[in-house]
Amino acid sequence: MQVAAKTEMERLVSLDTLAPQEKAFVRSLDGGCGFVSRLAALGFTPGAPIRIVQNRGRGPMIVLVRDCRVALGRGEARKVWVQHEENGHGPVEE
């Protein structure tokens, strides 16, 4: 069971590493209660599909989540863990 969990974790990347037009699924948020609550309210919940609209490699990035464009700071984007669309199987299977 731990091997499967480790394999799953190896496929996760932080949101800030994705290029424009890449699609992924949110898998987890790594931050304090306030941060997690705020991003969840914006639609960043496990299994939510996202698409990168703008990522210039520095400064804020723009992400499309649940048909809304959201600007995230680089530090915030580093705390959002995603799985590429081709690796992910859509919404979280529990």
**Extents of the domains making up the chain:** 2-84
* Model confidence pLDDT, tens digit, residues 64-79: 999 999 999 999 999 9
Question: Does residue 61 carry a pLDDT above 80?
Answer: yes
Find where tokens 């210039």 sit: 56
3-state secondary structure of 51: strand
Rounded to whole angstroms, the Cα distance separating 25 from 32 reads 21
CATH number of 2-84: 2.30.30.90
User: Lowest-confidence range among 33-37, 52-56, 78-82, 83-87?
Assistant: 83-87
